[in-house]
Chains A and B, each alone.
Chain A
Amino acid sequence: MYDIIIIGAGIIGSFIAHDLSKKLCNVLVIDKEADVANGATMANSAIVHAGYDPEPGTLKAKLNVRGNRMYPGICESLGEPYVRCSAFVAATSEAESRILDTLAERAGERDIEYRDMDGDSARELEENLSDDVIRVLEFPTTGIIYPWNIAIALMEEAVMNGVDLKLSEEVVDITKEERYKVTTDRGVYEADMVINAAGVYADRIYAMALKGEPDFHIKPRRGEYYVIDEMAKPVVNRVIYPVPGPDGKGVLVVPTIHNNVLIGPNSQPVDDKEAVCNTSEALNDVKARASKTVKNLPFDKVIRTFAGLRPSGDTHDFVIEESKTLAGFVNVACIESPGLASAPAISEYVIDNFVKDAYPDKNASDYVHRKPITFMTGMSDEERNELISKDPDYGRIVCRCCLVSKGEVKEAINRPVGATTVKGVKKRVGPGLGRCQGGFCEPLIVDILAGELGVDRADIRYDSAESVMLIGQTKKGAL
């Protein structure tokens, strides 16, 4: 018996669970994925946009601006990195320059800091900015984050404070009697309120409860990206946006916290809600479009390509509202860009408008805070050696690309909401994100997972239960 069930453990579900964990109420989070933050939260541009872009009067505009201001404090309290790296919006023609005028006007109205400069001044700051760029608006409050780690951190703290989390459980039915009955492929749970934060599946989840056609539909838009290897001097230091068009923000060049660079995304509507595949057409398109704003892009240093699905709706704005027919059923849907940037404000909006003061706040002194996960790359040698003297596994490097120790991997596995899969370890502490893409470290990670979880290596999955890796031992009668 729960007060509130949240469906979806992405960045939105995690923020809402975290906010609710500060209140005296029983909360359950359900996700069909094997880990927190496995959908849109895992595969996006990882940017906290400044908020100048959305159309005036939209929830997107209001919540993006607010979310951008909330992030630094939230990241600090979670012990997760937030880098205010700044951004350029680069115009290459007079027509594009006129769009910059609109953006500048919006920024002014929304009290967002910006600087207007010509192409040459901008190139002094970003030497690889294309020679075709004639004018730039700089937005210094643009930030970069690791979205999945923030979601994991939020969920971890929520769980430490009493929230229940069910992963690898798919919601198959929702009925409203006196209370909501949420049926999954493993059990039945009841609650007074359901918050639908199911990403690309939010329309199907709502349809399940409605037993009819929902008033919004999600048609995912796929975005494809390249990841460039960590370099001593990354090609850009700020996020470089083209001037936005009807398709959205366009193809960006984005620095990451660990000196990689992301290049993407395109925007391709797809029918399949799981179609996270790359296509050569899209990758070629991304390559061509990125080169319009940034020169010297080192495509010979690509270490990975990936694709993500934006949960785009037919509503053109976020849908954050209580169902008109089902009291206590709150949809938090169509959270496409700037959904990540807006996420903390979206959660705040949900609590303020739909949960209100139904549940009293917990005493602040009763609230347990997480201890940030150890990141040895950010420590001094003295701090590292102190850690190694306590557990020598912190001195045993298992990932030579990202310099991750066995101690950090063990920690990622043994935390609340710990990693249970190879992908889970990769998300939390990095092995596999680097230039070898797991070639060297994956067998070691499988070993550590099997050891810490007390299972056979063949039981370790890459991600979902179906993502089998090792099929069995040799020399045990298979021939």
Chain B
Amino acid sequence: MIKRELVVIGGGSAGIAAAIAAYNNGCKDILLLEKDAELGGILLQCIHNGFGLHRFGEELSGPAYAEKWKDSLAQTSVDVRTSTTVIHLTSDKHITYVNPNEGYVTVEAGAIVLAVGCRERSRGAIATPGYRPSGVWTAGTAQKYINMQGYMVGKRVFILGSGDIGLIMARRMVLEGAKVLGVAEIMPYSNGLPRNIKQCLDDFDIPLYLSHTVTDIRGKARLNGITISKVDEKLTPIPGTEMDFDVDTLLLSVGLIPDTALLNEAGIKLHNKTKGATVNEHMETSIPGVFACGNGLHVHDLVDFVSMEGEEAGAAAAKYLRGELIRKEDSVIEAGNGISYVLPSYIDTEAMEESMEIKCRVTGNARNVKLTLKNGDKLIKEIKKLRVAPSEMEKIEVKKAEFGAAKGRFVLALEEL
């Protein structure tokens, strides 16, 4: 069996960054596997601007952001295979992949970085009632048709879910000549970035129906109408609040889920909230030497942070391969009041580096709050926030010195000031 030091699975923003970081940290035998015909991942269809402000100090389109990273990758000796799909991943780090040139190949990896990305929740996953005509797509699928293949998907459009892709696609459809009749969001707040509400909906007078969801889909062949209803606090539709829209297209932007098919096969422990792997502060999964990052680990709102996480995972993998990733005792970090999830799940406060970053999302919009990290009653770290929202990932840097001798169970919570 062929042996490789490091195999990076996925050539999107996380995977490219992981490969470069591993290379820069001394790992020179790296195989990067990408299922599509070129590197870049989902960025290639995200032709809008807004990428790279943190990384490059300028606002780039998705393809431009990917291109800059690909240019950096080209300066390394990372071995890239495109049109290559990973079929199997085992717990002993055997990877089987297939591509048209080599066929099925199994390699044994010293370390693995999983940068597999996420998928969109489909209509089936939310069990929307009604018929199943054509004309109902996830926003990302429509984005691919329009931006890469150059085909329009419809003329009169409604959007379910206020995730960023849905908002971006609302503007995109209008600019290409469609009429967008509205966006319904089941939660009482938007899931997208405030700037996208402004520049994608408000700019084009597209109404946003908060606390509404689609309760009927009509049309036996092509979609010809939908009904939306207001929902109560339990998110159950309220009879009598129905509104009908004559539309030929319904785009769904109802959430993204890490793609975990490979993780399941390898028996990697999953996080019950993010639906991705559970990791420690080195982005290492429950299998030593297997690292995870990017939207395949948890769904990010900014690609710049995906790249940064990829770099962390790549650097950690290189360290692992050098035999320097020493672990003594795992403590756990859990989500407390007001927090929907926290990452990493595990930390070794004794063997950790000088500082680490905790990422979390809150469960609801709030103002004038603080995020507190506690070990029992002992406060480890506290940061004040003017505003928090579920759509925006929060990051908290904690120094080793701040942990001190604390270990065991840590809880991150949201508290009022």
Contact = CB atoms under 8 A, between A and B. Distances in A.
Interface in A279-323: 279-280, 283, 302-306
A396 B103 contact: no
B177 A479 contact: yes
A400 B36 CA distance: 11
Contacts of A463: 134, 221
B309 to A, nearest CB: 22
Nearest to A393: B100
B85 A436 contact: no
Interface string B285-312: 0000000000000000000000000000
B100 A384 contact: no
A392 interface: yes
B221 A471 contact: no
B100 A303 contact: no
A470 B125 CA distance: 24
A474 interface: yes
B100 A395 contact: yes
A464 B146 CA distance: 23
A403 interface: yes
Given A277-B131, A393-B100, A396-B100, A471 B124 contact: no
Interface stretch (A12-20, A85-93, A437-445): A437-445
Interface string A373-401: 00000000100110011001101110011
A436 B42 CA distance: 15
Nearest to A464: B221
A400 B140 contact: no
Contacts, number: 151
A406 to B, nearest CB: 9
B134 A437 contact: no
B176 interface: yes
Contacts of A464: 221
Contacts of B100: 388, 392-393, 395-396
A473 B141 CA distance: 16
Given A395-B98, A468-B222, A440 B129 contact: no
Contacts of B222: 466-468
Contact of A304 (B106, B124, B152, B154): B124
Give the interface size bracket for A toward B: 35 or more
Interface string B26-59: 0000000001000000000000000000000000
B385 interface: no
Interface stretch (A117-125, A329-337, A454-462): A454-462
Nearest to A224: B129
Given A280-B215, A403-B87, A443-B141, A470 B153 contact: yes
Contacts of A467: 133-134, 221-222
A478 B151 contact: no
A234 B141 CA distance: 29
Given A439-B120, A478-B177, A397 B127 contact: no
A278 interface: yes
A461 B133 CA distance: 11
A262 B144 CA distance: 31
A464 B100 CA distance: 33
Contact of A280 (B129, B134, B153): B129
B101 interface: yes
A226 interface: yes
Given A388-B100, A474-B151, A278 B127 contact: yes
B177 A437 contact: no
A181 to B, nearest CB: 29
A368 interface: no
Contacts of A465: 221
A232 B133 contact: no
Given A467-B221, A475-B150, A278 B129 contact: yes
Contact of A303 (B104, B122, B150, B154): B122
Interface in B141-200: 141, 144-146, 148-155, 176-177
B259 to A, nearest CB: 8
B376 interface: no
A395 B132 contact: no
A39 to B, nearest CB: 13
Contacts of B130: 277-278
B264 interface: yes
Interface in B101-146: 101-104, 106, 119-120, 122-125, 127-135, 137-138, 140-141, 144-146
A469 interface: yes
Contact of A302 (B35, B102, B120, B124): B124
Given A435-B119, A439-B138, A463-B221, A478 B124 contact: no
Contacts of A397: 35, 85, 87, 98
Contacts of A436: 119-120, 122
Contacts of A471: 151-155
A135 to B, nearest CB: 33
A28 B103 CA distance: 43
Interface string B215-257: 1010011100000000000000100000000000000000000
A304 B122 CA distance: 8
A227 interface: yes
B247 to A, nearest CB: 13
A472 interface: yes
Contacts of B128: 278
Contacts of B331: none
Interface string A96-129: 0000000000000000000000000000000000
B124 A305 contact: yes
A84 to B, nearest CB: 26
A254 B144 CA distance: 35
A440 B133 contact: no
Q: Which of A278, A385, A388, A395 has the most CB of B within 10 A?
A: A395
A464 B133 CA distance: 10
Given A389-B103, A395-B101, A397-B35, A303 B125 contact: yes
A440 B98 contact: no
Nearest to B117: A440
Contacts of B340: none
Contacts of B141: 438-440, 442-443
Contacts of B35: 397, 400
Contacts of B127: 226, 278, 280, 283, 302, 305
27 contacts: A231-B264, A232-B264, A276-B131, A276-B132, A278-B130, A279-B129, A302-B127, A384-B104, A388-B98, A388-B100, A389-B103, A395-B100, A396-B83, A396-B100, A401-B261, A435-B122, A439-B138, A439-B141, A443-B141, A443-B144, A466-B222, A467-B222, A468-B135, A468-B222, A470-B151, A471-B151, A473-B151
Given A232-B264, A468-B135, A471-B154, 4 more contacts: A384-B103, A435-B261, A465-B221, A479-B176
Q: Which 9 A-B pairs have CB atoms at the shortest separation, nearest pair first?
A: A304-B124, A466-B221, A392-B100, A437-B122, A462-B134, A397-B85, A385-B103, A470-B151, A395-B100
